[in-house]
Amino acid sequence: MLAITASACSGSGTAQEPVAAGRSGGPVCPLTGTPVPRDGDSGRPAVAVKVENSPEARPQSGLDAADLVYEEPVEGGLSWLIAVFQCSDPPLVGPVRNAHPSDTAILAGHGSALFAHAGAAASGAVGAVNSLHQVDALRSGEAFQRLDGRSPPHNLYASMPKLRALAKDGGPPRPWATFRLPGSSKPSASPSAGVTPSPPTGTSAQFTLGPASVRWTWDSRAEAYERHQGTALFTDPDGRPITVSNVVFLWVKVTETDTRDAAGGRTPVLTLTGQGDALVLDGGMEHSGRWIRRSVADPPSLVDRKGHPMTLAPGHSWIVFLPVDTPVFVR
């Protein structure tokens, strides 16, 4: 078992611009590097939704269709999610909850996008970013609905068709990573990237954030990672496991503000520029590297310890922001 922690540091750094590699003659989805599905549109803007991840919110709807999910620490030691959709949309996403101060900085690197949430953790807590069209359920609720069977505030859901109708401006999102060609499943397929994968023993990774213990496990038959939170498998409402091709851990500085939630927990703010340590789980293997982000207008770049770009498997990804003193145990 390998325990990995990190200490973030600031600096300009250098890295190549992230790109999505595609198969010859066919377009790919910019956030997954996979061929565009028959009903997909690789040229439309991304739609991001803030999704609650407390026990009362699970199982959530729509996460299985997300091109990319960001997981960030919030008040009380919990972690909430930002699900990003571009090539394919589910009918409903939720439960939708309030935005946090770091959300717009997380999303700004993708360029134009729509960001749906249910207000802010505090007045003025979410900064305005010109490239983001924010849709607040507390002010413009036409795209949102309350579902029976759940108690407020865990029953607010977004209609993706209605959100998509609002996302008319802007082009496709900027890629956040360099994806290998579809069909090139092994990291060694890109030797120029300088990636030296560990032996294929890193089949699971576990970390604890506040009261939650999270474990990602590689399923070799499905060729994807499954998530457990506590002792429960992370699933959609129909009981199907939520799976991804890549799990990326980014260690960042987390500062608690004077703003508090209703329970008295301090609202954290993430330092998302500069550089810090990174760990990528891909194909049942682990890859240690660094993230570099010059400004919030840029997506983070992933490089190995020699500064070469790290390539990821085509498919859905889950990015976890962790405080620098949080260890990840890889088995």
| Distance in angstroms (rounded) separating the CA atoms of residues 227 and 247 | 10
**What does the pLDDT read at residue 21?**
47
Domain boundaries, the chain: 2-330
pLDDT for res 225: 97
pTM for this model (two decimals) = 0.89
Token code pair at residue 189: 């397929």
For tokens 């909430």, the residue is 80
* Segment 132-168, tens digit of pLDDT: 899 999 887 899 999 998 999 999 999 999 999 999 7
pLDDT of residue 23: 45
Residues 6+ apart with CB under 8 A from 286: 2, 197, 198, 202, 205, 279, 280, 330
Q: What topology is assigned to 2-330 in CATH?
A: YerB-like fold (3.50.90)
Helix (H, G, I), strand (E, B) or coil at 16: coil
- In the predicted model, is pLDDT for residue 22 greater than 70? no
Residue 33 has a CB neighbour count (10 Å cut-off) of 28
61 pLDDT above the threshold of 50: yes
pLDDT tens across 127-138, in order?
556 678 999 998
3 pLDDT more than 90: no
Q: Which residues have C-beta within 8 Å of that of residue 324, sequence separation ≥ 6?
A: 5, 6, 7, 8, 251, 252, 253, 254, 276, 277
pLDDT of residue 63: 98
What confidence category does residue 39 fall into, taking pLDDT thresholds of 50, 70 and 90? confident
Top mean pLDDT of 23-27, 227-231, 317-321 is at 317-321
β 232-233/224-229 pair status:
antiparallel
Q: How far apart are the first and last CA of the chain?
A: 5
Look at residue 190 in the predicted model and tell me its pLDDT.
Answer: 36
CB-based contacts of 231: which residues, under 8 Å, 6+ apart?
A: none
3-state secondary structure of 187: helix
Q: What is the pLDDT of residues 255-314, one digit of tens each?
A: 987 777 766 778 899 999 999 999 999 999 999 999 999 999 998 999 999 999 999 999
pLDDT greater than 60 at residue 231: yes
Given a contact cutoff of 8 angstroms between Cβ atoms, the answer to whether 92 and 158 are in contact is yes
Which residue has 């998302």 as its token pair?
A: 272
